[in-house]
Amino acid sequence: MSFRERWAELLYQASKWPRRRRALFTPAGVIFWLGVTALLVFASLWVDGAAHFPKFVSPPLSLIIGLILLALWAFVGVWPVVRFFKARGSPVPLNPPQELVTTGLYAYCRNPMVSGWLSGMFGLGVLLGSVTFTFIATPIFAILNVLYLKGIEEREMEKKFGEEYLRYKEKVPMFIPRLRKR
């Protein structure tokens, strides 16, 4: 059994734990996610300073573009979290909803939280004028998310929801939403 299969199996088994036990992992998962992002921000700003990179967008324009992308994150990235809590779960892989969420933004995109988060990261990068955060850290973060989602989470979802998830996966794109539902 490969590392990805073992990890997917661990997530699958954890999704069957009692609700209270799964809920204990939610704060740890949120802290981890925010911590990784904060680490990327500070490391990127340090690299920008050490390499003497100039801010790549002038302040009035960076404020406008950054705030628009952060507002998009606030809607696309946060609204699905509320949907998960309503389905009695969380975005943390060890405490997922027990049912497949396919309504709302999930009818248009399988991973709206990640799409929103990446939008927010680009927005923050533009707002800070950080070349490293915008053009290096955020794309690497996106690639790592794709590898995790394709290699681990989708396997776990297939195991957990079977044909229902396979049909959903066939109809709904991973990140970039279609303008209309299929």
Global pTM? 0.86
Whole-angstrom distance, CA of residue 134 vs CA of residue 175: 18
Residue-level pLDDT at 181: 54
The domain total for the chain is: 1
- Residue 53: the pLDDT is 95
136: Cβ–Cβ under 8 A, 6 or more apart, which residues? Answer: 44, 47
pLDDT of residue 90: 84
At residue 100, the pLDDT reads 93
The answer to whether residue 159 sits within a structural domain is yes
Q: Is residue 180 part of a domain?
A: no
Q: What are the distances in angstroms from CA 156 to CA 10, 121, 124?
A: 9, 27, 31
Ramachandran angles phi, psi of 178, nearest 5°: -80, 155
Q: Which of 104, 132, 123, 171 lies closest to 42 in space, CA to CA?
A: 132
**Residue 178: inside a domain, yes or no?**
no
Residue range of the domain that includes 121: 3-171
Q: What is the mean pLDDT of each run of 10 residues along the chain (182 residues)?
A: 87 86 86 93 97 90 94 87 84 86 91 92 95 96 94 93 96 84 54
Is 155 domain-assigned? yes
Q: Which two tokens stand for residue 180?
A: 């209309």
Q: What per-residue confidence (pLDDT) applies to 180?
A: 66
Q: How far apart are CA 58 and CA 151, in angstroms?
A: 39
Asked whether residue 176 is assigned to any structural domain, the reply reads no
Look up the CATH number of the domain holding residue 67. Answer: 1.20.120
- Rounded to whole angstroms, the Cα distance separating 86 from 7 reads 26
